[in-house]
Structure 1
Amino acid sequence: MKHLLNLLAAVALLVWGTHLVRTGVLRVFGGDLRRLLQRSLGNRFSAALAGIGVTALVQSSTATSLMTSSFVGQGLITLPSALAVMRGADIGTALMSVLFSTDLSWLSPLFIFTGVVLSITRPASAAGRFGRILIGLGLMLLALQLVVQATGPLFESEAMRAVIASITSDLMLEITVGAALAVVAYSSLAVVLLVAAMATGAVVPLDVALGLVLGANLGSGLLAVLTTAKSPPAVRQVTVGNFLFKLLGVVIAAPFVGLVLRQAPDTLTASPATLVVMFHLAFNVIASVAFIGLTTAVARLSMTLVPVPRTPATGTRPRHLDPSALSTPSLAISNAAREALHQADVVESMLIGVLAVIRGNDLRLAEELRKMDDQVDRLYSDIKYYLTKISREALGEEESRRWTDIISFTINMEQIGDIIERVISDIEDKKIRPHRNFSEAGMAEIVEMHERLVANLRLGMSVFLNGNVRDAQKLLEEKVRFRDLERAYANTHLTRLMDRTAPSMETSSLHIDLISDLKRINSHICSIAYPILDSAGALAPSRLRSSLVEAEEPR
């Protein structure tokens, strides 16, 4: 039992080290890796090379698959280009298995020591996050040593030898076990390294080891499919296409496992670990080169297996909150910002519809606009929940500020939606059902304020998207103009009341409340400018005039 626990602990440490490296690289270099992928998609061969480089850094073809799937889901790249990236990703992870199979045990204490020092002394900086990568690399190397030490005593027992012997009788069982291990470990790299270590200790025969390697390759494709099971169809098409490539490769390669062992040079058979990782590398290189010309055909098959619904998605459903992007914080922040603009589009439709309800006394439209507020509330909750899943520790200073800006923006949009819903209810109760109308002058005032409000909302969306300081200043100036306009129109309305204008007297309460609510909406819109101006240092610490303060001081 002790030896079994030691082996399980070593395997867990290997998986955890791989996780630290993958997440650390994505947090430090995630944005750069995204740009590298996007710039390398001119043709399938450059895309494959980009896949090799990115996967070699993140230590996981699954992570590359999820990143690439997110690009397809956002319409940034085509499906065939994404599948070409994945051909290179498989080669990248195979190259890393070759590297880690060499004797790098002397690097383990160096990486762990340096990584811990960086993580403790500079935890919130890029150096601290790079320290996590070094810790992960050190733990992987240490875990491989522990696996070799633990497997020897454990597999000397008759019971374990009987279990291994049962696996050797069936190649399909070996592939199935290898695939299951890759799914459970969340890394085919960790499984291949584990199999290589076990082969070195003569725990498993070489033919079993090669069967497990084929299964690990198949399992990595299956893992990506399972991870994106709830993602939009465009995202799932990438992982399904990649799985089809892996399945085809395993089906073709499986019958030749025995031939590989018979034809392998004596230098390889004398070093089981080398044979295992070189077989893994050869399988992925040959499969990727042979299948790269089939990316378009497999893309069509994937689109047939995972069709995109023809009916447009409803406004209530988030369009850009891709769960698979959460492992890349910069990409997840970008997705949340795009969804926040989607929420603002719904709010803009509500705001434009208010004037149509006032002019046409349209109760059906009023009901539709009230339902749209439920959409705004739901989008706010979805965006907020999505952002909470992003680790704040993984964000740089600029990304952390953007995280806060998105939260602030969505809160303002949600509150604007609530105000519009209340305004519509007041219009129904105080104008449409009693069959009342605003005076001609009063209606002109409302129209002017409404037009200015819509323009300010669009300017606010532009400020949120681009962060332009000059536009933010212009938006904040609109707050003062709108407040002055609301006061002026309140006074002119009182003048009409003194003149005993009948429509003004009938709608007086609604008119005053409406222009006040429009001013409140404008205040929420102008709040979008504050984070931008604060970041640029363009906000004064207080709006109180120093002369007024001095006048109040006792002498």
Structure 2
Amino acid sequence: MDIAINLIGGLGLFLYGMSLMGDGLQKSAGDKLKKIVELLTSNIIIGVFVGALVTAVIQSSSATTVMVVGFVNAGIMQLSQAIGVIMGANIGTTVTAQLVSFNLDGLAPITLGIGIVLYLFASNGKIKNIAEILLGFGILFTGMEFMKDAVEPLAEFKGFTDALISFGQRPLLGLLLGIGITAIVQSSSASMGILIALAAQGIIPLSSALPILYGQNIGTCVTSLISSVGANRNAKRAAIMHLLFNIIGTVIFLIFLNKPIIAIVTKIDPSDVARQLANTHTLFNIVSVIILLPFAKFIVKLSMMIIPEGMEEKKEETYLDERILETPSIAFGNTVKETLKMANLSKECLNNSMNGFLNKSQKYIDKTIENEKSIKNLQINLLSYLLKLSKTSITTELVEDVDNLFNTINDLKRIGDHCENISELAEIAIQKDAEISEDGVKEIYEMYEKVKQNCEDIINVIKDKDTTIANKIIHTEEQVNKIEKSIRRNHIYRLNNDDCKIDAGILYLDLITNLERISDHCANVAKRVLN
């Protein structure tokens, strides 16, 4: 019982340390990580490098493949790109195993001490991120030592050691054990840590450990398979590709490469079984990628055969996928993309509402109402997603960006509200057959063109944070305010001279008020960029 408790405690520290180190690395990488993922093209080799780099940063191949499933589900990534990233993720995950296989007992307390001092006394966000990396590193190795100490008494239980040794003669059982352990702990790095702890104490020989190691590579696919439940067909195929890659690699190694790999790692490090295991893990994934990379298209086709085309419920494409929250900087980038959809809808909503008013068209009024409903739904989904994102491990800079986007989304929603008001004015104009004077129509067009330009410009401001365009919006907003004041004066003059009817005049004033407020909300978005 004591062995189990100590092993679970060590495993908990290991997982927490890995998570903390990954969070610190993510925060330090920030936008760089986002740019790395944006490098993705149809070039599969670039995808392999990206997958390896991202996994090395976030310290989890499962998290990377879950993120890939999210990208495919959102339509951001094609299957031909996903297969490269999945292959690379398997290489990136070997970093943790390599780290823990070294005997760094004396280094863990030092990194913990330095990390704690930096975290407590540093005010700079970047230094705090480095502190998190050091703390995670120290806790990771402390957990590893706990696991080594926990399993040490098992060496005295002959039945246990004989059972482990038997896996060398019964590789299928070892394979199933590896799959089971990894599926339970949801981390191939953690299950690899347990295996290395057993090897470091001399409890399990290399020949018996290898089938378990191969099984761990298959077991790590469980996370991505679970994450694909409820996703579209392509996302399911991405998860299946991950499983296929690891199964095919395992079959190749078990049948053809097991003896050669034992010979190679034993020659590299004859006496240290922990190092032999870590090197096997690395070689397994690198060699599997080299062998299977030329057949990537066939793996994609095979996944499409397993998940064939068929009737499926049409889902509205969205960039908001909770799987991508594993990497906050990328999740935020996708939120901006979804916000751009909202900004484009707001512009479309303005044009439809004005066409409804100026042309007295019920068709455009109905379109405006549809636009406004879509804008409202986007606002609800975006704010909910941003709330979840704000609860993840995000940098101080990203906190500010998230706050700004919250306000921008609300401004876009208010633009939709004012467009709905204009459509209601259009309906009243149709019911009362209200006619606006020719001069009044010209003034409306002049103001509308300025407001429409601002609605178009905020799209680029949201996308690129372009300060030049932001300043242009502020300038245009000042012009809109002047035009509004001029229109009001001219309208009063026309009313006094009976050139405009009272009913039409009220609608006219309400219209220019809504247009001016739309321009105000555009200016709010621009000011956030300038500030």
Alignment of 1:151-230 (within 5 A): 151-153=151-153, 171-201=171-201, 203=203, 208-230=208-230
Using the size of structure 1 for normalisation, the TM-score is 0.84
Does residue 489 (structure 1) correspond to residue 482 (structure 2)? The answer is no
- Report the 3-state secondary structure (helix = DSSP H, G, I; strand = E; otherwise coil) of the residue aligned with 1:437: coil
The answer to whether the 8 A contact 2:151-2:198 is kept is yes
> 1:134 corresponds to which letter in structure 2?
L
> 1:409 corresponds to which letter in structure 2?
T
**Structure 1 match to 2:12:** 12
**Structure 1 match to 2:503:** 506
Residues 144-190 of structure 1 show CA distances to partners (whole Å, capped at 9, x for unaligned) of 21112112336756997898799899654543442243234332122
> 1:61 corresponds to which letter in structure 2?
S
1:109 CA displacement: 0.8
Residues 215-271 of structure 1 show CA distances to partners (whole Å, capped at 9, x for unaligned) of 210122332333354556555544432222112122333456985799788777864
Does residue 277 (structure 1) correspond to residue 274 (structure 2)? The answer is no
> 2:469 corresponds to which letter in structure 1?
D
- Report the 3-state secondary structure (helix = DSSP H, G, I; strand = E; otherwise coil) of the residue aligned with 2:220: helix
Report the Cα distance in structure 2 between the residues aligned to 1:266 and 1:334, rounded to whole angstroms: 46
Report the Cα distance in structure 1 between the residues aligned to 2:474 and 2:95, rounded to whole angstroms: 55
> 1:373 corresponds to which letter in structure 2?
E
**Structure 2 match to 1:320:** 319
**Structure 1 match to 2:411:** 412
**Structure 1 match to 2:527:** 530
2:478 aligned residue (477, 480, 490): 480
**Structure 2 match to 1:548:** none
Cα 1:54–1:373 change in 2 (3 A) is closer
1:454 CA displacement: 0.8
> 2:24 corresponds to which letter in structure 1?
G
Residues 116-154 of structure 1 show CA distances to partners (whole Å, capped at 9, x for unaligned) of 122222265111111111111112211121112112336
The answer to whether the 8 A contact 1:318-1:339 is kept is no
> 1:376 corresponds to which letter in structure 2?
I
1:65 CA displacement: 3.3
Does residue 341 (structure 1) correspond to residue 315 (structure 2)? The answer is no
Deviates more, 1:192-201 or 1:386-395: 386-395
Deviates more, 1:263-272 or 1:459-468: 263-272
**Structure 2 match to 1:118:** 118
> 2:467 corresponds to which letter in structure 1?
V
> 1:520 corresponds to which letter in structure 2?
R
Cα 1:150–1:260 change in 2 (3 A) is farther
Report the Cα distance in structure 1 between the residues aligned to 2:386 and 2:308, rounded to whole angstroms: 29
Cα 1:264–1:528 change in 2 (3 A) is closer
Report the Cα distance in structure 1 between the residues aligned to 2:468 and 2:279, rounded to whole angstroms: 59
Report the Cα distance in structure 2 between the residues aligned to 1:191 and 1:171, rounded to whole angstroms: 17
Does residue 358 (structure 1) correspond to residue 357 (structure 2)? The answer is yes
Cα 1:486–1:232 change in 2 (3 A) is farther
Report the Cα distance in structure 1 between the residues aligned to 2:84 and 2:135, rounded to whole angstroms: 32
- Report the 3-state secondary structure (helix = DSSP H, G, I; strand = E; otherwise coil) of the residue aligned with 2:501: helix
**Structure 1 match to 2:383:** 384
For structure 1, list consecutive stretches of 5 or more residues without a partner in the other structure: 535-555
Report the Cα distance in structure 2 between the residues aligned to 1:431 and 1:311, rounded to whole angstroms: 44
1:66 CA displacement: 4.7
**Structure 1 match to 2:24:** 24
1:506 CA displacement: 3.3
Report the Cα distance in structure 1 between the residues aligned to 2:213 and 2:444, rounded to whole angstroms: 71
Residues 455-502 of structure 1 show CA distances to partners (whole Å, capped at 9, x for unaligned) of 11112222233333333222222223212222222232223322334x
Alignment of 1:38-437 (within 5 A): 38-39=38-39, 43-45=43-45, 47-66=47-66, 79-122=79-122, 125-153=125-153, 171-201=171-201, 203=203, 208-230=208-230, 237-255=237-255, 271-303=272-304, 305=306, 317=316, 319-391=318-390, 394-428=393-427, 430-437=428-435
Report the Cα distance in structure 2 between the residues aligned to 1:408 and 1:309, rounded to whole angstroms: 41
Cα 1:208–1:435 change in 2 (3 A) is farther
Report the Cα distance in structure 1 between the residues aligned to 2:350 and 2:332, rounded to whole angstroms: 27
1:507 CA displacement: 1.7
Report the Cα distance in structure 1 between the residues aligned to 2:189 and 2:265, rounded to whole angstroms: 24
1:203 CA displacement: 4.9
Cα 1:21–1:229 change in 2 (3 A) is farther
Report the Cα distance in structure 1 between the residues aligned to 2:275 and 2:464, rounded to whole angstroms: 52
Residues 402-436 of structure 1 show CA distances to partners (whole Å, capped at 9, x for unaligned) of 223212211101111112222222321x2222333
Report the Cα distance in structure 2 between the residues aligned to 1:186 and 1:22, rounded to whole angstroms: 16
1:385 CA displacement: 1.7
Cα 1:467–1:41 change in 2 (3 A) is closer
Cα 1:487–1:266 change in 2 (3 A) is closer
1:470 aligned residue (462, 468, 472): 468
Report the Cα distance in structure 1 between the residues aligned to 2:318 and 2:16, rounded to whole angstroms: 32
The answer to whether the 8 A contact 2:61-2:89 is kept is yes
Cα 1:125–1:248 change in 2 (3 A) is same
1:9 CA displacement: 0.7
Report the Cα distance in structure 2 between the residues aligned to 1:476 and 1:465, rounded to whole angstroms: 17
Deviates more, 1:232-241 or 1:141-150: 232-241
1:291 CA displacement: 0.4
Report the Cα distance in structure 1 between the residues aligned to 2:433 and 2:505, rounded to whole angstroms: 14
- Report the 3-state secondary structure (helix = DSSP H, G, I; strand = E; otherwise coil) of the residue aligned with 1:433: helix
Cα 1:346–1:44 change in 2 (3 A) is closer
> 2:137 corresponds to which letter in structure 1?
L
1:78 CA displacement: 5.2
Report the Cα distance in structure 1 between the residues aligned to 2:310 and 2:512, rounded to whole angstroms: 43
Report the Cα distance in structure 1 between the residues aligned to 2:151 and 2:229, rounded to whole angstroms: 35
| Count of aligned positions | 530
- Report the 3-state secondary structure (helix = DSSP H, G, I; strand = E; otherwise coil) of the residue aligned with 1:389: helix
1:349 CA displacement: 1.1
- Report the 3-state secondary structure (helix = DSSP H, G, I; strand = E; otherwise coil) of the residue aligned with 1:528: helix
Identity %: 24
Q: In angstroms, what is the RMSD of aligned CA positions?
A: 3.5
The answer to whether the 8 A contact 2:175-2:213 is kept is yes
1:33 CA displacement: 3.6
The answer to whether the 8 A contact 1:22-1:63 is kept is no
**Structure 1 match to 2:459:** 461
Deviates more, 1:247-256 or 1:323-332: 247-256
**Structure 2 match to 1:546:** none
Report the Cα distance in structure 2 between the residues aligned to 1:447 and 1:306, rounded to whole angstroms: 54
Report the Cα distance in structure 2 between the residues aligned to 1:121 and 1:253, rounded to whole angstroms: 50
Report the Cα distance in structure 1 between the residues aligned to 2:189 and 2:276, rounded to whole angstroms: 15
The answer to whether the 8 A contact 2:80-2:300 is kept is yes
Report the Cα distance in structure 2 between the residues aligned to 1:394 and 1:258, rounded to whole angstroms: 41
Deviates more, 1:31-40 or 1:112-121: 31-40
